[in-house]
Amino acid sequence: MDGDFIIDLDEINDGLASAEIISLSFLIFNKALIIDTRSNRLEGPLVCVSPMVSSPQERIRILTRMRPDFPRIDTITVIPWPRSVKSLVNLGVWELILSRFEAGGHLDAIQRCETILVDLKTLEKSELSAVLTGENYHTIWSASP
């Protein structure tokens, strides 16, 4: 399922290490993992799964509405992920996400990430099941003339 999609892990690592907002877009099932690393004394980082949006600007508008008590967003990293959810773990990307929260002492965000990883795997499995059963998919070429 992961095919030969080339992923620049160094570039991803840089983005995960420095961006305030990370949008990891799962092209397979049309959802995005949103990580807002900003926190204040009342609210910790945000980690959630969200529908895809058409632009980084739209993502920023949504996050600004969701978290109005936070300052203006300075950096956002958008990472299209054409591979499986499992490959996030296998390639070490998931560990980088967790280590960013661990370094900041945000243990609740780490727990949320673990729950979300299960959710992402479920979403992916459901989408692949739909592909196999033909649910929400249409045949382009028919076996009969």
Residue 49, amino acid: V
Taking alpha carbons only, the member of 69, 73, 49 closest to residue 61 is: 73
The domain segmentation of the chain, as residue ranges, is: 9-133
Tokens of 137: 């998919």
Q: What is the reported pLDDT for 17?
A: 85
Write the pLDDT tens digit of every residue in 43-97: 999 999 999 999 999 999 999 999 999 999 988 999 999 999 999 999 999 999 9
Helix 107-133, helix 93-103: angle, nearest 10: 160
Tokens read off for 54: 């058409």
pTM: 0.84
Given this model, what pLDDT does residue 52 score?
94
Average pLDDT for residues 120-138, to the nearest whole number? 83
Report helix, strand and coil shares of the chain as percent, to nearest 5.
45, 15, 40
| pLDDT of residue 6 exceeding 60 | yes
Pick the closest to residue 101 from 118, 116, 123 (CA basis).
116
